[in-house]
Structure 1
Amino acid sequence: MRRAFLSAIPAVMLPLFPATAPGEEEEELPALVVEADRDSVLPEHFAGSATVIEKETIAKSGVRSVADLLATQGGIRLSSTSGNSSGSSVHLRGFGENSSSRVLVLVDGRPVNRPDMASVSWLEVPIARLERVEILRGSQSARFGDNAVGGVINLITRGGSTESTVVEAAAGSDGYTLARLSHRGLIDGNGITFDAERNFTDGWRDNAFSELETAALRWDKQLAPWIGAEFGVSWAEESGGFPGPLTKQRYLLDPRQSIYAQSGQADQYFSDQTRWTADGSLIFGKSDGPSFEIPLSIYQRDLEWNFGPGYHSDNLLNTYTLAPRFEISGESWSAEAGLSFRRDTLELSQFAEIQRVNRTTDASLERDIAGVFAGAEWEPWKSWHFSASARWEHSQVDARSNSFVFPTDPALNFARGSDESNTAFQAGIRWEPSDNISAWLRYDRLYRLPSTDEIASYQGFPLSVPFNDQLHAETGHNVELGAEWTPDAWTLRVNGFAQWLEGEIAYDYLQNINVNLADTRRMGLETTVGYQSGMWDAALHFTALQAEFRNGPYQGKEVYLVPNQEFTATLACRPTDCLTVQAEYQHVGDAFEGNDFQNTREKLPSYGVANLLLRYEPKPGLSLYCRINNLFDERYATVKYSGLWYPAAGRQLLLGIRREL
């Protein structure tokens, strides 16, 4: 889904709805404001809690990847099994295991989540490509469909209407090197954007290397007064190593070690992948009438996966999405409706050795999701905004697996399928009595489809039931109640939420199968305090929550890998116009380790990590920066399963230079 209702249309068109209250004189928005809202999914009167990271903050962040940006500026918790944040899973609203399938990630409004349990590569969209980032917390299934149970992260890339060239280079500890180039401009009415990046690190842990090369090209143009178009292609080559878990004894002795390197098998644990993306849109309509948009995208990932002797696979994923939509607006209302189609195909071959000579298994999987959606917003009285959305989707999964080694084993040879339909809707109220005061109330009926890996054992790790056609979508309810006050330089926001999931999906290690384990409840309170002035910037994000099973054998127990408290703080000082000193701190409370349904094992300890950023700008457009992550070299882990630890990175230094022309 490319944009939400009431989001601004692309820069090639004027807004379709009034920016002033009924009865007031309307003014045309400047072109710059329209461009900033390109591909936004954040409605002007959103009935919920949202965070926006603007391009100025992104440019000055000095971070390696989008993941670091989300953690330091968005107050989002990350977890990683390698110690590299670029491969992290993001956590919103109290989800621990498989959280990546419960946070929808969009690029320019288009979903990029994988159909399996793999997380999004945060190096896939380089920092240099970003215009802004929108974080919508809480369920948005009615507006966006699958995966949007915990929230939505929308990465908006730069357009080509403003001339700009950015060159950046950096180097640091653990063999880290970075080179970025980005250019955008307008040529004969054609908006052109190009960027390229190379990103490499040996990794803080042994066999935790990460390497990425990527390039992208985008074009947009106003073809006629009533039609606009845009098109983009991107390419990426990425590889990385797997350091593996450690026992507690090994973790305390040396968290940088890798059990695979210690055993002399590091060359058997790594992945290589190539990704291609192409997307485009046609937008029909005029500024004084309705609009119709046809967005189409194609994604391909060719992955070579090596996870130890005997576990070598080639995985080809193709994803096709189409979501035509119609929008119309009046003086005090707007509405949208459309269709959505997504098709995922996976082809997998497994081999007995890394040289890929003897094939052991062939498997294929197809998933089709088709749906219809509609939404509207209405301002019946001044300062009161009502919104509603609804979505219906039908999904179908077909899987096949053939083992050449054990051709008669039913656990390794099957051809099965399943399908189901789901409905979601949302209703919200936002009250804005003045420019700096707002309050909201929202209800969501939600769902999340099982990922392909949760349903079928086609990846080479057999489940007790090879294709679980009894597994169905998680469904549930979500309620939000919050308020925001922005007096002068301050921002004060508080938001309470409660979410009930019916049949939450979890891996039952006793049965060796994914099941709709139990109903769960998550309740929490989010608070944000921000301050901006000429010399000081400060932001505090604090979340207190409780996630527990509401029935079944684990009734009353806490959901594992979910901390009860999260706290993020950022303080920036500019003693002179050319110097910025920024301190960042994130604290995450303790949590029960993975698979601890009974809440009886040693917890994953709480941790606090501090970062420091120094930025010197001798003249406009030129900046030098020094970033120290984990300033006090805190020893901690973000993931622990059944007594095995996955250490996070220790202290890391980064020095860089950035030039914008």
Structure 2
Amino acid sequence: MRRASISALAVMLLPLFPVTAPGEEDEALPDLVVEADRDSVVPEHFAGSATVIDQEAIAKSGVRSVADLLATQGGIRLTSSTGNTADSTVHLRGFGENSSSRVLVLIDGRPINRPDMAGVSWLEVPIARLEKVEILRGSQSARFGDNAVGGVINLVTRGGSTESTVVEAAGGSDGYTLARLSHRSLIDGNGITFDAERNFTDGWRDNAFSELQTASLRWDKQLVDWIGADFGVSWADESGGFPGPLTKQRYLLDPRQSIYAQSGQGDQYFSEQTRWNADGKLTFGTNKGPTFEIPLSIYQRDLAWNFGPGFHTDNLLDTFTLSPRFQISGDSWSAEAGLSLRRDTLDLSQYAEIQRLNRTTDASLERDIVGIFAGAQWEPWKYWHLSTSARWERSSVDASARSYTFPNDPALNFSRSTDESNTAFQAGIRWEPNDDISVWLRYDRLYRLPSTDEIASYQGFPLTVPFNDQLQAETGHNIELGAEWTPDAWTLRVNGFAQWLEGEIIYDYLQNLNVNLADTRRLGLETSLGYHTGMWDAAFHFTALQAEFRSGPYDGKEVYLVPNRELTATLACHPKDWLTVQAEYQHVGDSFEGNDFENTHEKLPAYGVANLLVRYEPKPGLSLYCRINNLFDERYATIKYSGLWYPAAGRQLLIGIRREL
């Protein structure tokens, strides 16, 4: 099957290659000017499917968090165990369980994925701070390394030479309040950017509250003609509750209830965390010559996790990253090479009670990743753009745990280490015969490292094997073939892909262990249609996908928690310059519930959710908006495990005002 698929793609590509008859004069190749946008990760001639949500679309979205923006404007499926989209997991390319470890999230090109299975906080970067959002679908391991198996999401913050001030306030149902401020000034060549936000909701479900305060300060300046500097610091304080799952009977009776609150233990199920990040970048060189960048980041998360009586954990995470990069370009080519260094350290203490009086467990974990990478793109013939990237990385993990309650239990007392090396490769070609048409083909050799939680039971929840040094990175192949046509006001994109993973990592609840369970295959077709005029804006995204096991005891069975179809549609009408009415709809097909390897249990049902946004702009820079999420109060769940449901939010109202100066 694999050879047949590759051969079919090759046959489809052959007619596209240009043939020059003897005696014909070669046409002069135009100069390829490589001008990367600030912190953009989308190449000018990207051999793949990319979506960019620009600053105007962000300003008019009227959403609470980046997660809402990705769902409504980016066509991305979200799941949440609390009903709050702000703490959602994003899903790309047919990954269900542990998808957060298979989608790489960047801020200005800097990775922010955690080494454990914790997801990214989508409230960490306020909407007002964003200049644009870039979504690259499909594996990008060769370019970015770990976590990029399903795709990459890059959040680009505001900068440049424009001064601005944005103030936003909103309120709504379930006690929701929002206050945002973003300001950028230019003083004697110094760019100063300040952001602050407070975001709070009681939550649609009981014990599903969410609260966040965040602030950041950045400075950038062109020190001399050939040296630029950009430094910043950010802080966030966040807390949230856990409502827990429901049986089907409870779910049908009242999806807003919490089993923990019903039992009088809601105050034992919540988390609190404080995050600090300092990062900077020095850039040496000019636009007309080679450049050398030195980006450095230091991150700390201090998390207090309370998951019921006896499970109270303090977790301190420190992450250090350094990725020096050298870039050079010519008339029709560009190239880059560099190093990637990352060190994660986690220190954990678990207590028997929420007051943190009696310590039951101490644990620590260290992970180091060292890699080298290189890439190039060039234009060998007119209209044709080739690109290639390669990466080698070596990772090592050291973990230790000590239980004061059960000091002789080897599952809770250990000190172990493991290491491995992996390589990734990418080659792509893009054909652009004119400004309206482009066709691409890309191959990826990919990998995804096990997260620390998958290897070791250092969090105090014992696995059958306390430190699984037999667990290896999942590796595989990905092939993309797509085309885009942009006549006048229309945009049509079709992209087909096939991905094979060897030894996909899955939690086997029968063994109580994360294992390289089986080989898997994902086949999909993505289609996008857009229409933009003065009065109407429309966007349509549809994905048909099949994900199944291709070896082992579940050969031929579908991978659970992966729907076969996803659809997102947006229609906006501007009857007047000052009025916008926008309807949004997202449909997600049914899927097998979590842990249903045999595909025999009741499925997680399909659902469709509609939203409505009305935006009034009495004068430029001032807007009032009203958003209704889940307009028809659809009852649905995005996650179901072993017969237990995690309900999503019902109808919610949001009213806000935004002022930009």
Contact 1:22 1:331 in 2 (8 A): no
Equivalent position of 2:20 in the other structure: none
Task: Classify the secondary structure of the residue corresponding to 2:650.
Answer: coil
1:258-657 alignment, distance < 5 Å: 258-657=258-657
Equivalent position of 2:177 in the other structure: 177
Structure 2 CA distance for aligned equivalents of residues 73 and 124 of structure 1: 19
Whichever residue aligns with residue 595 of structure 2, its letter is N
Structure 1 CA distance for aligned equivalents of residues 464 and 657 of structure 2: 54
Structure 2 CA distance for aligned equivalents of residues 60 and 320 of structure 1: 36
1:243-254 alignment, distance < 5 Å: 243-254=243-254
Structure 2 CA distance for aligned equivalents of residues 28 and 417 of structure 1: 44
Whichever residue aligns with residue 361 of structure 1, its letter is T
Task: Classify the secondary structure of the residue corresponding to 1:458.
Answer: coil
What's the CA shift for 1:460?
1.1
Contact 1:160 1:219 in 2 (8 A): no
Structure 2 CA distance for aligned equivalents of residues 370 and 428 of structure 1: 25
Structure 1 CA distance for aligned equivalents of residues 279 and 478 of structure 2: 33
1:23-422 alignment, distance < 5 Å: 37-159=37-159, 161-422=161-422
> 1:404 and 1:28, CA in 2 relative to 1: closer, same or farther beyond 3 A?
closer
Structure 2 CA distance for aligned equivalents of residues 560 and 288 of structure 1: 51
Equivalent position of 1:16 in the other structure: none
> 1:72 and 1:28, CA in 2 relative to 1: closer, same or farther beyond 3 A?
closer
Structure 2 CA distance for aligned equivalents of residues 580 and 498 of structure 1: 39
Whichever residue aligns with residue 70 of structure 2, its letter is L
Structure 2 CA distance for aligned equivalents of residues 282 and 577 of structure 1: 43
Contact 2:32 2:379 in 1 (8 A): no
Whichever residue aligns with residue 92 of structure 2, its letter is L
Structure 2 CA distance for aligned equivalents of residues 552 and 471 of structure 1: 16
Structure 2 CA distance for aligned equivalents of residues 280 and 382 of structure 1: 39
Contact 2:76 2:90 in 1 (8 A): yes
Structure 1 CA distance for aligned equivalents of residues 327 and 312 of structure 2: 48
Structure 1 CA distance for aligned equivalents of residues 435 and 648 of structure 2: 43
Q: Deviations over 1:2-47 (max 9, x none)?
A: xxxxxxxxxxxxxxxxxxx976589998xxxx7xx21000000000
Structure 2 CA distance for aligned equivalents of residues 112 and 557 of structure 1: 34
Whichever residue aligns with residue 382 of structure 1, its letter is K
* RMSD value, Cα: 1.1
What's the CA shift for 1:288?
1.9
Q: Deviations over 1:236-274 (max 9, x none)?
A: 000000000000000000000000000000000000000
Q: Deviations over 1:502-525 (max 9, x none)?
A: 000000000000000000000000
> 1:492 and 1:451, CA in 2 relative to 1: closer, same or farther beyond 3 A?
same
Structure 2 CA distance for aligned equivalents of residues 485 and 438 of structure 1: 7
Structure 2 CA distance for aligned equivalents of residues 391 and 24 of structure 1: 30
Contact 1:160 1:186 in 2 (8 A): no
Equivalent position of 2:6 in the other structure: none
Equivalenced residue count is 635
Contact 2:32 2:331 in 1 (8 A): no
> 1:270 and 1:28, CA in 2 relative to 1: closer, same or farther beyond 3 A?
closer
Displacement over 2 Å in runs of 4+: 21-29
Structure 2 CA distance for aligned equivalents of residues 299 and 286 of structure 1: 30
Contact 2:30 2:382 in 1 (8 A): no
> 1:644 and 1:25, CA in 2 relative to 1: closer, same or farther beyond 3 A?
closer
Structure 1 CA distance for aligned equivalents of residues 524 and 30 of structure 2: 39
Task: Classify the secondary structure of the residue corresponding to 1:250.
Answer: helix
Contact 1:160 1:184 in 2 (8 A): no
Structure 2 CA distance for aligned equivalents of residues 224 and 548 of structure 1: 56
Task: Classify the secondary structure of the residue corresponding to 2:394.
Answer: strand
Contact 1:538 1:570 in 2 (8 A): yes
What's the CA shift for 1:592?
0.0
What's the CA shift for 1:147?
0.2
Structure 2 CA distance for aligned equivalents of residues 444 and 403 of structure 1: 43
Q: Mind listing any 5+ residue stretches in structure 1 that lack a counterpart?
A: 1-20
> 1:286 and 1:508, CA in 2 relative to 1: closer, same or farther beyond 3 A?
same
Q: Deviations over 1:101-133 (max 9, x none)?
A: 000000000000000001000000010110000
Contact 1:160 1:192 in 2 (8 A): no
Contact 2:29 2:381 in 1 (8 A): no
Q: Give the % identical residues.
A: 84
Structure 2 CA distance for aligned equivalents of residues 102 and 25 of structure 1: 37
What's the CA shift for 1:378?
1.0
Contact 1:22 1:332 in 2 (8 A): no
Equivalent position of 1:659 in the other structure: 659
Whichever residue aligns with residue 141 of structure 2, its letter is S
What's the CA shift for 1:287?
2.3
Structure 2 CA distance for aligned equivalents of residues 552 and 193 of structure 1: 54
Structure 2 CA distance for aligned equivalents of residues 259 and 659 of structure 1: 42
Task: Classify the secondary structure of the residue corresponding to 1:597.
Answer: coil
Contact 2:34 2:329 in 1 (8 A): no
Contact 2:181 2:197 in 1 (8 A): yes
Q: Deviations over 1:603-627 (max 9, x none)?
A: 0000000000000000000000000
> 1:27 and 1:641, CA in 2 relative to 1: closer, same or farther beyond 3 A?
closer
Task: Classify the secondary structure of the residue corresponding to 1:142.
Answer: helix
Task: Classify the secondary structure of the residue corresponding to 1:454.
Answer: helix
Structure 2 CA distance for aligned equivalents of residues 288 and 240 of structure 1: 49
Q: Deviations over 1:384-408 (max 9, x none)?
A: 0010000000000000000011111
Q: Deviations over 1:253-309 (max 9, x none)?
A: 000000000000000000000000000000001222100000000110000000000
Q: Mind listing any 5+ residue stretches in structure 2 that lack a counterpart?
A: 1-26
Whichever residue aligns with residue 278 of structure 1, its letter is A
Task: Classify the secondary structure of the residue corresponding to 1:484.
Answer: strand
Task: Classify the secondary structure of the residue corresponding to 1:94.
Answer: coil
Whichever residue aligns with residue 460 of structure 2, its letter is G
Structure 1 CA distance for aligned equivalents of residues 397 and 257 of structure 2: 40
Structure 1 CA distance for aligned equivalents of residues 28 and 653 of structure 2: 54
Whichever residue aligns with residue 515 of structure 2, its letter is V
Structure 2 CA distance for aligned equivalents of residues 240 and 293 of structure 1: 38
What's the CA shift for 1:161?
2.2
Contact 1:200 1:211 in 2 (8 A): yes
Task: Classify the secondary structure of the residue corresponding to 2:57.
Answer: helix
Q: Deviations over 1:539-598 (max 9, x none)?
A: 000000000000100000000000000000000000001000000000000000000000
